[in-house]
Chain A
Amino acid sequence: MRAASESPVRHIIPPEFLEPNWRFWSFVFISILGSLLIIMYKVPVYDGLTDPFYTPTVLILPLVVLFRLTCYAYRKDYHRHLFNHPNSCATDVRLDSKSRGYSGETGFFRIENVHRYFMYTAWAILPFFYYDIYHSIVYTGAITVTLGTVILTVNALAVTFYTFSCHSVRHLIGGYRDCVNCPVNQNRKNSLYRFQSRLNGHHEAIAWTSLIMFVFVDLFIRGMVAGIVPNILLIHMGL
């Protein structure tokens, strides 16, 4: 541990949680409200389409939320835009200052270090998204592909790519190794790691695409329930 003289004040509760920061508190408010609404106003499985927020059940939601909250991509976003630590790299418009307390990922945010465990739960939930696609196709007894099926498929792929392009996955599938060809001439190419690294380079974009897809699918189904959005039938084959 570092010497006490160098050490800043130890924070159990991150100091940024105690600041009168409208961005942060509105985010908290909207999140709580949103969660309550999701729990209170459930959408039924409609026209064979399952809302991704209820896959497999809304009770698992906290694990998924924690996976996203500890994600390296979102960490950048909320530390910058909710907490202004720092809001900008340009030093003249930066809202961070020497007078503010800061604990980084050492105090409460040490929880970021178990990101990989939340990632495991995300993998556990992933098959349900594909089951939902299957269900939307066969629920009538015939083979039915609707616009909703396509949207669910895109959503499932986005979640999969998001989960796969995670930095913790990168570590576990090869990042932890310093040498793949030791001793030399093992002829290992490390292709999976290289492929994943390329996706990982776009992790932030994929993360946001996937999150937006989630909300979009939810709104799409709610729109159908409300009778505003039509679910166009694309393929129908009797068995």
Chain B
Amino acid sequence: METLKISVYRRDPATEGEGKYVDYEVPMEEGMVVLDAMKYIEKHIDPSLSLRWNCMAGKCGSCSAEINHRPSLMCKARVDSYKGQKITVSPLAAYPLIKDLVTDVSQNWDLLKRIPKFTPKEGLEKPWKISQVDIERSKEFKKCIECFLCQDVCHVIREHNSGYFGPRHVVKAASLDMHPLDALDRSTFMNKDAGLGYCNITKCCTEVCPEEIHITDNAIIPEKERAVNAQYDPIAMIVRARRKGRGNK
């Protein structure tokens, strides 16, 4: 039977200072993905391998890992797409390690808590009427499955401890900001408190997104442009101040 050689990062931080890569051999199956191989190891070779997975269908975003040093979902990484290359699987390096391939991504909930929640405009007639055209932008961001691959690949989070919330959270803010009936503008918060200015548009987040959300072009840059309106563009600031003034009269 044809077998697949796969190298997996193993470490229990409680007992081991350094991690190591362990090689495994698993039988090949047609259409096999990396997660299938990992599950095989867990079931038949070493049940102590720690592994996080749920739906096996690319819908829940649990099985995030770095495959050949590229952040990927294990359930969607077809083994045959790595023709000839050795497959190496390691945990997300941007997050504290729990064990083997499992990392602690809980800091994301704290960040999500800080982004102001959906706040509908006042005095809307019920039931709400919304055009299909107006839901499209927000809808793209709502495809996010919170796999945090974009966070992991972002050099600002991974290499520079700057306090930047990260791509996932800009997408979240954008999904709320671009809700047609939302009353808030989160761009100032994102720029002042969420470190949006640290993003330098290098688009790795967009490259790794398994849901193919155009994170940089459709979420980050529009949020930056909105922040410019509020904080940097004198004309936009004057226009807004005058509008406000008129509104108050």
Contact = CB atoms under 8 A, between A and B. Distances in A.
Nearest to A3: B163
A76 B233 contact: no
Given A79-B200, A171-B222, A180 B133 contact: yes
Interface stretch (B18-26, B41-49, B77-85, B177-185): B177-185
B23 to A, nearest CB: 18
18 contacts: A76-B201, A91-B70, A91-B93, A100-B160, A104-B164, A104-B198, A105-B197, A106-B198, A167-B225, A171-B226, A171-B229, A175-B222, A178-B177, A178-B179, A178-B180, A180-B133, A182-B180, A188-B133
A1 B163 CA distance: 11
B158 interface: yes
Contacts of B181: 179, 182
A171 B220 CA distance: 12
Interface in B222-249: 222, 224-229, 231-233
B157 to A, nearest CB: 11
Contact of A189 (B71, B133, B202): B133
Interface in A159-212: 167-168, 170-171, 175-176, 178-186, 188-190, 200-201
B65 to A, nearest CB: 12
B156 A104 contact: yes
B134 A89 contact: no
Interface stretch (A40-48, A58-66, A108-116): A108-116
Contact of A105 (B66, B69, B131, B200): B200
B199 A104 contact: yes
B160 A79 contact: no
B126 interface: no
Given A76-B201, A86-B155, A116 B162 contact: no
A183 B227 CA distance: 26
Contacts of B233: 113-114, 116-117
B30 interface: no
Contacts of A75: 200-201
Nearest to B229: A176
Contacts of A76: 200-203
B162 A102 contact: yes
Contacts of B202: 76, 79-80, 85-86
Contacts of B193: 2
B182 A90 contact: no
A116 B70 contact: no
Contacts, number: 146
A116 B156 contact: no
Interface in A48-69: none
A interface: dominant SS: loop
Given A2-B193, A8-B160, A86-B204, A105 B226 contact: no
Interface in A1-42: 1-2, 6-8
Interface in A76-107: 76, 79-80, 85-86, 89-94, 96-98, 100, 102-106
B224 to A, nearest CB: 8
B225 A178 contact: no
A214 to B, nearest CB: 22
A168 B225 contact: yes
B53 to A, nearest CB: 21
A170 B218 CA distance: 10
B155 A85 contact: yes
A181 B69 contact: no
A167 B203 contact: no
B192 A102 contact: no
Nearest to A106: B197
Contacts of B33: none
A72 interface: yes
A1 B222 CA distance: 21
Given A91-B153, A105-B197, A178-B179, A167 B160 contact: no
Given A91-B153, A94-B155, A100-B159, A2 B133 contact: no
Interface in B124-153: 129-131, 133-134, 153
Interface string B204-231: 1001100000100100011011111101
A102 B200 CA distance: 10
Contacts of A180: 131, 133-134
Given A75-B201, A97-B159, A105-B199, A182 B134 contact: yes
